[in-house]
């Protein structure tokens, strides 16, 4: 029996963000492409890849697969790699926000970090050591909220703590939850994001599912929106952001990456891992998100897509973008970062939302690498092999997750120039499309 299409009812018009929108004032990132925000951002501009073949030193058993492994992080005994990554990028985000801690009420500083996978390393230890070894704390195995607890404890944040697990939508859900705590008055600041690391159990599960690409070459294994795509590659990394209300940021003279213009969560009542081929619900989510952001007649300029490189995801996502935006989709720029950093699972939405904020800051939509034969569905511009340098004011980030979770966040540049982040110059080797490309594409 086929799944019924969702009943789409007219939604109330809520154009325009709240009078005091939530803004991003600090960003921290770490992944296979680099250990900090600007390293990763410049690597994306240049089309560099952090994908390599796993080896015997990686926690993947005998599997040898293209994967975006983090090699720059020094292992700490008894510490999960995902928690190390969380602490690393949280520190960068908080420093980047340039907070004067003497003026911060730490009881009103929230922390919303997605759940991490448990530690299974004890399975490899001799049985007689499993109950006595101090090197593997039991909470790393039992408590999915260990990352948010450890980060908040380290930074002495006494406000609300949240921990969500919604598969690869977790990072965006954590951001939305943090923003809502600010909007409801429960907090004045929030640290939000996610981290993830590759483990043998998880990569083996995806491998058995048949969704991981094995090539034909390591460098181009993941090819989002390409007709020859064959699956995604896993990756490791993390991203955190500091959020606050715009009035608070302006009061303290902070510099703003972007404002959260709107957010939306829905679900597909379809399958645990499969997507609705007609993409009715995702279509509706995009329409709803654009309406709530107040962009009904102009739409987003850039979409950072989920773009996994699987047959099902890419077709569903492109179909929803085309149907959800209609003629507005003709001018939107779309790209996926997973081709070069891999799929960070729980942390994918966080890192890609941070990239979207940097795209607004610098006026640059990064390319979709390894895209040689674009999927013709919808005739959309997925930025094959070259980015576009242009002024960007409006962008969407989409996440499509196992379990049917659909999540979107709309970002816009701060309208007050004195409080905008100063754009950073693009890398000298940034991949930039020539100005006549769009006109030639339309003519064709």
CA dihedral 205, 226, 305, 236 (to 10 degrees): 40
- Active-site residue among 306, 370, 382, 405? 306
Q: Cα 333–243–116 angle (5° rounding)?
A: 85
Instruction: Give, as one character, the DSSP assignment of residue 10.
Output: P
Known catalytic membership, residue 343: yes
- CA nearest to 350, candidates 31, 17, 18: 31
DSSP letter at 188 equals S
285, 268 in Cβ contact below 8 A? no
CB-based burial, 209-241: b 16+ in 10 Å, e otherwise: eebbbeeeebebbbbbbbeebbbbbbbbbbbbb
Query: In the 8-state DSSP scheme, what is residue 6?
Result: P
**CA 357, CA 334: separation in Å to the nearest integer?**
14
Q: What is the DSSP letter of 395?
A: E
User: Residues near 443 by Cβ (< 8 Å), separated by ≥ 6?
Assistant: none
How many other CB atoms are there within 10 angstroms of residue 115's CB atom?
A: 21
Q: What are phi and psi of 237, to 5 degrees?
A: 160, -175
CA-CA distance, 175 to 260, in Å (whole number)? 10
Q: Give the H/E segment covering residue 46.
A: helix 37-46
Quote the CA–CA distance of 143 and 118 in Å, as a whole number. Answer: 7
DSSP β-bridge partners for residue 68: 235
CA angle 356, 362, 368 (to 5 degrees): 50
Using CA atoms, how far apart are residues 381 and 400, in angstroms rounded to an integer?
Answer: 20
What are the start-end ranges of the H helices in 364-436?
none
CB 300, CB 390: distance < 8 Å: no
Rg (CA), the chain: 21
- Beta bridge partners, 264, equal 408
Catalytic residue among 48, 88, 164, 343: 343
Which of these is catalytic: 111, 168, 382, 414? 168
Which residues are part of the catalytic machinery? 168, 306, 343
């Amino acid at each position: 029996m086929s799944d019924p299409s969702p009943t789409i009812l007219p939604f109330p018009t809520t154009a325009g963000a709240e009078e005091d929108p939530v803004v991003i004032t600090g960003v921290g990132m770490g992944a296979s492409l680099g250990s900090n925000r600007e390293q990763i951002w410049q690597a994306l501009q240049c089309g560099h890849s952090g994908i390599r073949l796993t080896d015997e030193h990686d926690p993947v058993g005998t599997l040898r697969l293209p994967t975006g492994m983090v090699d720059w992080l020094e292992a700490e005994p008894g510490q999960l790699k995902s928690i190390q990554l969380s602490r690393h990028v949280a520190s960068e985000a908080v420093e980047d926000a340039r907070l004067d801690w003497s003026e911060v009420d730490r009881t009103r500083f929230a922390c919303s970090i997605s759940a991490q996978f448990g530690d299974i390393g004890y399975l490899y230890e001799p049985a007689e050591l499993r109950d006595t070894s101090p090197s593997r704390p039991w909470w790393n195995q039992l408590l999915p909220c260990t990352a948010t607890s450890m980060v908040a404890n380290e930074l002495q944040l006494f406000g609300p703590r949240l921990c969500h697990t919604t598969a690869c939508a977790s990072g965006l859900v954590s951001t939305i939850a943090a923003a809502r705590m600010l909007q409801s008055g429960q907090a004045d600041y929030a640290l939000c994001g996610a981290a993830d690391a590759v483990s043998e159990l998880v990569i083996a599960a995806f491998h058995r599912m048949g969704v991981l690409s094995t090539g034909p070459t390591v460098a181009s294994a993941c090819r989002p929106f390409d007709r020859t795509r064959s699956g995604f590659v896993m990756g490791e990394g993390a991203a955190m952001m500091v959020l606050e209300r715009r009035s608070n940021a302006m009061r303290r003279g902070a510099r703003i990456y972007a404002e959260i213009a709107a957010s939306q969560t829905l679900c597909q009542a379809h399958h645990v891992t499969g997507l609705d081929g007609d993409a009715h619900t995702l279509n509706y989510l995009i329409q709803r998100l654009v309406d709530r952001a107040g962009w009904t007649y102009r739409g987003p300029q850039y979409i950072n897509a989920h773009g996994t490189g699987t047959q099902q995801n890419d077709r569903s996502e492109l179909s929803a973008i085309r149907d959800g935006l209609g003629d507005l989709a003709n001018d939107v720029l779309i790209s996926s970062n997973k081709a070069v950093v891999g799929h960070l699972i729980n942390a994918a939405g966080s890192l890609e939302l941070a990239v979207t904020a940097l795209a607004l800051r610098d006026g640059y939509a990064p390319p979709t690498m390894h895209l040689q034969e674009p999927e013709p569905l919808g005739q959309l511009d997925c930025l094959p092999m070259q980015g576009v340098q242009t002024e960007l004011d409006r962008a969407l980030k989409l996440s499509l997750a196992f379990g049917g979770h659909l999540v979107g966040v709309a970002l816009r540049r701060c309208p007050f120039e004195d409080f905008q982040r100063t754009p950073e110059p693009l890398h000298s080797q940034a991949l930039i499309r020539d100005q006549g490309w769009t006109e030639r594409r339309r003519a064709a």
